Amino acid sequence: MVSSHLDELTFPHPFRFVCQAFTLRYPNPFAPHVITADTLDRSWDAESGILRSVRLVLKRGTIPGWAPRGIVEKSETWVLEESTINVLEGTMTLSNRNLDHRRVMEVVEKITLRAIGEVTEATSYVEVTSSWGFYAIRKRIEKYGISRFQRQSKNSRHGLELIIKLLRPSSPLRDPLLNAERINYPPSLAPTSPLKSRLRELRLRAQEKQRLISEMLRPGSKKESSPSDPDSEEDEEHEDDSLTAAEEAELEQLEREFSADPSSVIPDPSLPSNPSPQKRRWFWWWRWHLCSDSSSSESKKL
C-alpha cells in the first residue's frame, strides 16, 4: 500500500532567486530538524547548461506516541537529495529519499520548479510506503507520514521565502549566503547556533535587572544596610551581574538577528505546559478505571 500527496503552489519571485534559495535553504530558522547538509557531488555541463548536485542531509524526526516501542533505534535519518538544474530552460527537478528506516517508512519526494515569466511554479509530490507490521499499523504509519509532510511543507515554504528575501541584491546577507562554503552562515539562519544560549542568557539578565529596578522604585522597599550586612553583599552581586553597555548592544543585535526565529523565545515558567499525549492517555485511562471501580462497588452494595 502506497500513500501519496500532491502539492502545487506559485512563488511570486523569478526562477533564479527560487532556484538559489532551494540550494541554500539549509540551515534556516524554520527547519530546526535539519542537523547537517553536505554536498557529495556537483557537476556542471556548460554546453547543455545543466547543473547536477548530490547532497546528504541528516534530519531529526519524531516518533508518535502510539508507535510500538523499539520500532526504530534512533530518531535521526539520512536523506539523499539529488537535483538537476537546467539554466537554459529554467527548470529544476529535485528528489529526496530516506536511506534508513525504510522498512518502517520510506518517503520519496519529487519537486519540480519551472519559470513562468517573473514567477515560479512549484510542484511537490510525495509517496510514503510502509512494510512494517500488519495492514492496520502500516496504514497508520503511512497516514502519519503524509500528515507530517503536510505540516512540514508550510515551514519549508516559510524558510524558502526567508532565504529568497535574503538573496535579494539589496540584502546585506546575500554575499554570506552565496559564499557559505568559505565562511560561516549568518547566526540568524543557524537553527542550532550557540548564540541562542547567549541570547537567552542576556534576556534573563535583562529581565532580572528590570525586576531589581522595579523593587527599588517600589515605595517602602529601600533599606539602609551596613557594610557587614549580607543584603549589601547580595546587592553588589546583582550589580556585578547587571548588563553593561556593550552587553546591551549585543542583546539588541541578537534580538534583531533572531527576531524571525520562533524557537529562541524563552518560555515563561509560571505558565502551565501542556501534558504530553502519553500523559493525557494515562490520565483518561486512570479516570475511566476509577469510575468503573466506583460504579462496580456501588452495584455490589446494592
Q: pLDDT class for 238, splitting at 50, 70, 90?
A: very low
In 10 A of CB 27, how many CB atoms?
21
- The residue-averaged pLDDT of 218-232 equals 54
Phi, psi of 61 (to 5 degrees): -105, 180
Average pLDDT, rounded, for the chain: 76
Q: How many CB atoms lie under 10 A from the CB of residue 171?
A: 13
The model's confidence at residue 241, banded by pLDDT at 50, 70 and 90, is low
> Beta partners for 97?
80, 108
pLDDT at 264 over 50: no
Helix H or strand E encompassing 177: helix 174-178
Q: Is the pLDDT of residue 119 over 90?
A: yes
Cross-strand partners of 91: 86, 114
Q: Please give the Cα distance from 196 to 200 (Å, whole number).
A: 6
Q: Are 2 and 127 in contact (CB under 8 A)?
A: yes
* pLDDT exceeds cutoff 70 at 90: yes
278, pLDDT greater than 60: no
Q: What is the pLDDT at residue 197?
A: 65
pLDDT for 272 equals 40
DSSP string covering 15-45, please?
A: HHHHHHHHHT--S-TT-TTEEEEEEEEEEEE
HSE (side-chain half, CA atoms, 13 Å) at 62: 12
Task: Indicate the pLDDT class of residue 268, thresholds 50, 70 and 90.
Answer: very low
Domain parsing of the chain, residue ranges? 2-65+74-183, 194-216+246-266
Q: Which CATH number is 2-65+74-183 given?
A: 3.30.530.20
Helix (H, G, I), strand (E, B) or coil at 93: strand
SS3 label, residue 57: strand
pLDDT for residue 222: 53
- pLDDT given at position 182: 47
Nearest to 216 by CA among 249, 246, 238: 238
Q: How many residues does the chain have?
A: 302
Q: What is the pLDDT of residues 14-56, one digit of tens each?
A: 998 899 899 888 888 888 888 888 889 999 998 999 999 999 9
**Range picked from 33-42, 91-100, 267-276 for highest mean pLDDT:** 91-100
What's the first-to-final CA gap in the chain, in angstroms? 54
Closest C-alpha to 28, from 37, 19, 15, 18: 37
- As given in the structure block, the three cell numbers for residue 53 are 548536485
Quote the pLDDT of residue 125: 94
pLDDT tens digit string along 145-204? 888 888 888 888 888 998 888 888 888 778 777 776 544 555 555 554 455 666 777 788
DSSP per-residue string spanning 144-171: HHHHHHHHHHHHHHHHHHHHHHHTSTT-
* pLDDT higher than 70, residue 57: yes
CA separation for the pair 86, 114 (Å, rounded): 10
Given pLDDT bands bounded at 50, 70 and 90, which one contains residue 261? very low
